[in-house]
Amino acid sequence: RAARLTDLPELLQQLNAPDFDGGRLIRSLDKLGNMRVSNEEICEGIIRMGEDIKTKDYVRLNLWAKSCVLRAHRLGQRVGALSEKCHELRVTLEKAMEAMEYFQSTKEMSELRFQAIQAVRKAPPGDAPKLAGWRPPREPTYPPEDEAVRFTQMATRLVGGRGGGGGGLRVSPWRHRRRRLLVAPPHEER
């Protein structure tokens, strides 16, 4: 806007300055680097343009070029990282698309299989198959005996019955005495 309203372009041409757009002009005149140009900075910048090129101008140009190279390098790294992420995303999307295509191609078979499994699970159990040569066990003709009653009867026969001496095993008194001696506690006299 200043170039249209003032004679600044003519002044820059008289100083043999290159053609600037607004951003480049502000960067070349901005001494503090805050992207704002005051009147003093404009005056000092125009005076510097009229002077011969000095060593500090080369140093500034070198710093500016180095800064541009570092920015370009950093931008290249960021673009490389972004490219890797895009590649990973592309591979993931390709796998997702393959999965979708597989799903679409096997959808009917999968549904048929699912319905068959559901039908089998919900169906009532059928009769058990009859085995060749198998016969059901015969039912006993007598009622089953009680195991406890049989054990007590056997023990009574071996040891001897209560109250009336019938049919127990006879053990000689000599054996009873010997057992008592073997089993007797040590503090008793023998």
Tell me the C-alpha distance between 96 and 164, whole Å.
94
User: pLDDT value at position 99?
Assistant: 92
Answer for the pair 33, 25: CB distance below 8 angstroms, yes or no: no
Residues 6 or more apart whose Cβ sits within 8 Å of residue 48: 57
Rounded (10°) CA dihedral 156, 158, 162, 163: 140
User: pLDDT value at position 147?
Assistant: 79
User: pLDDT value at position 154?
Assistant: 85
User: pLDDT value at position 190?
Assistant: 47
* Tens digit of pLDDT at every position of the chain (190 positions): 556 667 767 776 776 666 666 677 677 767 666 777 777 777 777 666 666 666 777 787 788 889 989 999 999 999 999 999 999 999 999 999 999 999 888 888 889 999 999 998 998 877 877 788 888 888 877 766 777 888 888 888 888 755 444 554 555 555 555 555 555 555 555 4
Question: Six-digit token pair at 123?
Answer: 């169906």
